[in-house]
A and B are shown apart, each in its own frame.
Chain A
Amino acid sequence: MFLVITYSRSARTSLRNVTRAHEETTVRQFGRAAVFAGTAFGAFQALRLREKHGRDVQVERIEPFVPEDVPVGVRDAAAAYEGRETATIPYRQFASGRDLPDPDTMREQDV
């Protein structure tokens, strides 16, 4: 799929027109941004907007998120932290002393 973000009023108007005219290609619309279907037609609409508005249009390819693609330690950390008993404890403190990754390591780690 394609994430299209606009950075000017005119580009935003064009994006709205496209999403209104092509509901079947619009997966989601968020005001100045939209997700287009990963079809040739979705790419065509994204490219048209880029041709028309240049750098005022950002296009990114996106794909559905599958939690299983993320290292198991990160998933376990998220589950453990959300299941914590003390609501106010920051994650850094929560992780130290447990077998959980510390936030700085996770910031450096590409997944």
Chain B
Amino acid sequence: MIVRVDDATWCGAVADLRDSDVSGRAVAAGVRGDDGPCRIHCRPPGPLFDHVGYVHADMGLRVRNALAVAARSLDLSAPQAAEIERLRAERDRLSVDEQPQRRTAAPEADPTELRERVATLRGRVQALEANDEDASDARAELRAAAAKLSESQTARIAAEEYRDQTRSDRDRRERRMRLDDRIANRERDARSALVERVREPYERAVFALDPTADPFDAPPVVAALALLRIGRPRAPVVLAVDWFPSPAVAADWIGGPVVRCPSDPAV
């Protein structure tokens, strides 16, 4: 790891920035590769970093979720993994219509009435023609009525097609939601399975830090340090708490590089 703040540079497993005025937040951003006051050359952070990569007094932590992530950082996998992957693939194959909804007006005229009117007019035209009378007005009326009928039929067919499309789109959305529910359930099972696989070492680590703490209700800093002990953080850990006598001891405990920075001012 190489850490640069202003003109100073640190190399190795430990960087002690307590005398600088760079904040823990800025250091964490540096680990993520942001170009800020603190630039850090290191391995890219994995998912565990998001949970416990920046240890500070008012951090929040969802222990069970973080434990599952820590287990994954050790390349442990849950028995549900294959099924989750299969469900995800199935879900991704379901395509849904992303176009905004179209307004369709139902045809106003009653088709039966229109059909009857066309038939009546046709009869009248035929009667007039049979009697050699002038049928031009009646013929114009028939043309208009026939046009209206065909227009109404077209509109009805379009409305029916649209309704069928909407229905099948909703069927697909419904299937997708069911799959999402199943995926979420399997993921919950997978998390529990992963938590079980690392529970014992985690409890031992919490006990070593604070024998009085309940592992699943421990203060976030204690839980985070225990998680870092059992997990494999990859990227440097940003430490803004006075728990260990020195940054080197912290790096030993974590088993990876540590950037010790001044505690963030209380918000």
**A-B complex is real:** yes
Does any Cβ of A come within 8 Å of B245's Cβ?
no
B101 vs chain A, min Cβ distance (A): 6
Rounded to whole angstroms, the CA-CA distance of A58 and B97 in the bound complex is: 14
Does any Cβ of B come within 8 Å of A54's Cβ?
yes
Q: Which residues of A contact B174 (CB under 8 A)?
A: 7
Is B170 in contact with A58, judged by CB distance below 8 angstroms? yes
Does any Cβ of B come within 8 Å of A56's Cβ?
yes
Q: Which of B52-97 contact A (CB under 8 A)?
A: 96-97
Does any Cβ of A come within 8 Å of B186's Cβ?
no
Does any Cβ of A come within 8 Å of B98's Cβ?
yes
Among B96, B180, B181, point to the contact of A55 (Cβ < 8 A). Answer: B96
Q: Which residues of A contact B181 (CB under 8 A)?
A: 9
Does any Cβ of B come within 8 Å of A8's Cβ?
yes
A43 vs chain B, min Cβ distance (A): 16
Is A12 in contact with B96, judged by CB distance below 8 angstroms? no
Q: Which residues of B contact A32 (CB under 8 A)?
A: 177
Is B184 in contact with A9, judged by CB distance below 8 angstroms? yes
Does any Cβ of A come within 8 Å of B173's Cβ?
yes
Is B184 in contact with A55, judged by CB distance below 8 angstroms? no
Q: Which of A10-69 contact B (CB under 8 A)?
A: 12, 32, 54-56, 58
Question: Which of A7, A12, A32 has the most chain B CB atoms closer than 10 A to its own CB?
Answer: A7
Rounded to whole angstroms, the CA-CA distance of A58 and B171 in the bound complex is: 12
Rounded to whole angstroms, the CA-CA distance of A55 and B171 in the bound complex is: 12
Rounded to whole angstroms, the CA-CA distance of A48 and B174 in the bound complex is: 21
Interface residues of A (CB under 8 A from B): 6-9, 12, 32, 54-56, 58
- Given A32-B177, A55-B100, 19 more contacts at CB 8 Å? A7-B170, A7-B173, A7-B174, A7-B176, A7-B177, A8-B176, A8-B177, A8-B180, A9-B177, A9-B180, A9-B181, A9-B184, A54-B100, A55-B96, A55-B97, A55-B98, A55-B173, A56-B173, A58-B170
